[in-house]
Structure 1
Amino acid sequence: MAGGVVIDGGKEGKDYPGKLTVHVFLTCLLAAAGGLIFGYDIGISGGVTSMPMFLERFFPSVYRKQLADSGTNQYCKFNSAKLTMFTSSLYLAALVASVVASFVTRKLGRRRSMFFGGLLFCAGAILNAAAQNVAMLIIGRILLGFGIGFANQSVPVFLSEMAPYKHRGALNMMFQLTITIGILIANLLNYRFAKIEHYGWRLSLGGAIVPALIILVGSLILPETPNSLIERGKVEEAKQKLIKIRGVDNVDTELQDLIAASEASKKVEHPWRSLLNRQYRPPLTFSIAIPMFQQLTGINVIMFYAPVLFKTIGFGDDASLISAVITGGVNVIATLVSIYGVDKWGRRSLFLQGGLQMLVFQILVTIFIGWKFGVTGNAVDLPK
């Protein structure tokens, strides 16, 4: 599924007392809304870059290729250095921001990291909606990337620390769910706004303000996690918070384990260097390889450029956008199934099932595009 891989501790470890309270569920639901900003951007950008009015204003060379005859190489119609900079600048900024965000999340708390993410994303959305030239678009995208870097770093950590042991997998998956919902909402808005002449693209890009405000306001009213409070020496406050979110008074065992883990982490003089020790190599390898290969499958590219891909293979403007809506809807449904089964069937089962489906269907996508355009990118007349 697009957006990333959520990894948690699985079913190993102590079975701490506690239950899924309404307070925790609503808290995690609000925090998980941080995924909306990432999902919205994935869905909105591909649709906007397929809108003729947007391309004509900012990327006229690409727009002229869209008007070219059918003999034009279909693989190169969106080949533009400026367009590439517009789309990729967000992800480069998110990469840089994630390094800073890890420090902010650890030292200042999860809420502040979410606050900075929402603030930066809001600023980027406003700048993109008001853009008069490509430079403003790229600067706006960079601000959006900074916001995503902070949100993607802090929200999964917040969810893992707030979730009760038995429901940690499902609540962690809520972040992925909001990413897919954000994609679907963006696809729906693109379909609607594409019909508005001259400024429909501004509404699509400016719509990112809504999810940004949700996480911005949410960060102001969300509680801090017990883990974060312990890290900053507020043990008694952490205990009271743990009692509230677990819904039981007997939290001493979990509290002591959290304190012990925090103290042990502070004793590590060189944490990054320690990761290279032999005992940490297997988990380090998997924690890097799983999300890396998930990204390298190209699924985010398919979700990001869904309208462009559909348009390239011959769909009309409206048809390409509505096809992207269908793709986003399937993504949401698949995530709901995963939330239901992650704690019931196990992480490994879903991981193998998802990997097999991606393998099969990406091969089919390659076959269909190759059948239509071959290796040259020129349309082939298919048998009737």
Structure 2
Amino acid sequence: MNIGFQCGVGIGVLAANLINFGTEKIKGGWGWRVSLAMAAVPASILTLSAILLPETPNSLIQRGNDNQKAKHVLQRIRGTTDVQAELNDLIKASSISKAINHPFKKIIQRKYMPQLVMAMAIPFFQQVTGINVITFYAPILFRTIGLGESASLMSAVVTGLVGTASTFISMLVVDKLGRRTLFMIGGIQMLLSQVIVGGIMAAQLGDQGGLSKGYSYLVLVLICTYVAGFAWSWGPLGWLVPSEIFPLEIRSAGQSITVAVGFLFTFIIAQTFLSMLCHLKSGIFFFFGGWVVVMTAFVFLLLPETKNVPIEQMDKVWKEHWFWKRIVGEVDESTKTQSTTQSMQAI
């Protein structure tokens, strides 16, 4: 479900690229107006859907409404009348969450330092992969390497298709391969494709002022390779991993910081890319490639595997990590032994 969010983003980008490609064919130079106006369609769908969307049972309980109303909504969602056990769990969770005060003060405590670092580092690294260079400015980028306007827009459609398909692949394999493995695979894949693209552009654009048709298509293939690497690693995992590491008492603060940092750097990249492209030219790929090296090393050294780890067990994962245990403290061996004994007795 978390990766589904990134799927939605990918489908939206693909739809926008298809609209841009179609409206570019309109004669008279006013196709861009149609393209911009089409943004009203999803906005209208969202607005109408919000009117029809029912309240969630959890929201009804938290706002102090009648629990019977929450039960009725839950029965509609589940398609069965046997929902009392789940309703009781929701009521219990709601009472616990109301007892939690000042989550933003809690998250800066020493014992939550790993979660705070991840809440800021993961969305930051997600943006400095350079993916928004592709998704926001793909047609401009492809025009820069020598493709015509129509071909540039079609190339953006191709990268959108690759990104969306790769995100679905991530859904299928993330629980088999693990988060860290996908991070490593995606990082290496993005780095190699960026370095090769940068090398081709530095050599060819410097000598000829443009790329030949063969080199243009090679760059397109490499950019698709890069997009695929992002789409099954940092794209979806940038949302999935943060959702798996925050305990209940800091969950709202941690998720808020993650989203805020992500949008902040999305804005910064969007505002600075054109100037960077003009000044750095092919060097922009080496710039973002350097960040990919840093972020891949960060994951390898500092991010523990979260696959199949319940949220309530994550504190032990940090305490057993070679680096974070110096900050949050090591696992108490007596407590660990006692917990193991209790588990064995329960079995």
1:369 and 2:197 aligned: no
Moved more, 305-314 or 186-195: 186-195
For structure 2, which runs of at least 5 residues remain unmatched after alignment? 216-347
> Identity of counterpart residues, as a percentage?
49
1:264 Cα shift?
2.6
Partner of 1:360: 192
Partner of 2:47: 216
1:199 and 2:30 aligned: yes
Instruction: Write the distance in 2 (CA, Å) between the matches of 1:279 and 1:257.
Output: 27
CA offset digits 1:296-327 (Å, max 9, x no partner): 11101221110000000111111111111111
In the superposition, relative to structure 1, how do residues 343 and 243 fare at CA in structure 2: closer, same or farther (>3 Å)? farther
Instruction: Write the distance in 2 (CA, Å) between the matches of 1:208 and 1:243.
Output: 36
| Secondary structure class of the residue paired with 1:305 | helix
Structure scoring higher RCO (CA < 8 A, sep ≥ 6) equals 1
In the superposition, relative to structure 1, how do residues 277 and 318 fare at CA in structure 2: closer, same or farther (>3 Å)? same
Q: Trace 1:1-384 onto structure 2 (pairs within 5 A).
A: 171-196=1-26, 197-234=28-65, 235-343=67-175, 345-373=177-205, 379=209
Contact 1:313–1:372 (CA under 8 A) maintained in structure 2: no
Moved more, 314-323 or 248-257: 248-257
Partner of 2:324: none
The letter of the residue matching 2:202 is G
1:194 Cα shift?
1.2
Contact 2:145–2:211 (CA under 8 A) maintained in structure 1: no
- Report the structure number with the largest CA radius of gyration: 2
Contact 2:146–2:210 (CA under 8 A) maintained in structure 1: no
In the superposition, relative to structure 1, how do residues 173 and 239 fare at CA in structure 2: closer, same or farther (>3 Å)? same
CA offset digits 1:189-233 (Å, max 9, x no partner): 211211222310100100101111111111111222222222211
In the superposition, relative to structure 1, how do residues 381 and 233 fare at CA in structure 2: closer, same or farther (>3 Å)? closer
CA offset digits 1:33-86 (Å, max 9, x no partner): xxxxxxxxxxxxxxxxxxxxxxxxxxxxxxxxxxxxxxxxxxxxxxxxxxxxxx
Contact 2:14–2:160 (CA under 8 A) maintained in structure 1: yes
Contact 2:138–2:156 (CA under 8 A) maintained in structure 1: yes
For structure 1, which runs of at least 5 residues remain unmatched after alignment? 1-170
1:289 Cα shift?
1.6
Instruction: Write the distance in 1 (CA, Å) between the matches of 2:71 and 2:137.
Output: 47
Q: Which has the higher helix share?
A: 2
Contact 1:242–1:251 (CA under 8 A) maintained in structure 2: yes
RMSD: 2.8
Contact 2:201–2:211 (CA under 8 A) maintained in structure 1: no
**TM-score scaled by length of structure 1:** 0.49
Partner of 2:260: none
1:293 Cα shift?
0.6
| Secondary structure class of the residue paired with 1:268 | coil
**TM-score scaled by length of structure 2:** 0.54
CA offset digits 1:110-147 (Å, max 9, x no partner): xxxxxxxxxxxxxxxxxxxxxxxxxxxxxxxxxxxxxx
Instruction: Write the distance in 1 (CA, Å) between the matches of 2:196 and 2:87.
Output: 50
| Secondary structure class of the residue paired with 2:55 | coil
Instruction: Write the distance in 2 (CA, Å) between the matches of 1:256 and 1:366.
Output: 57
Contact 2:146–2:211 (CA under 8 A) maintained in structure 1: no
Instruction: Write the distance in 1 (CA, Å) between the matches of 2:200 and 2:155.
Output: 16
Contact 2:19–2:35 (CA under 8 A) maintained in structure 1: yes
Instruction: Write the distance in 1 (CA, Å) between the matches of 2:77 and 2:166.
Output: 29
In the superposition, relative to structure 1, how do residues 176 and 273 fare at CA in structure 2: closer, same or farther (>3 Å)? same
Count of equivalent residues: 212
In the superposition, relative to structure 1, how do residues 219 and 380 fare at CA in structure 2: closer, same or farther (>3 Å)? closer
Instruction: Write the distance in 2 (CA, Å) between the matches of 1:332 and 1:201.
Output: 24
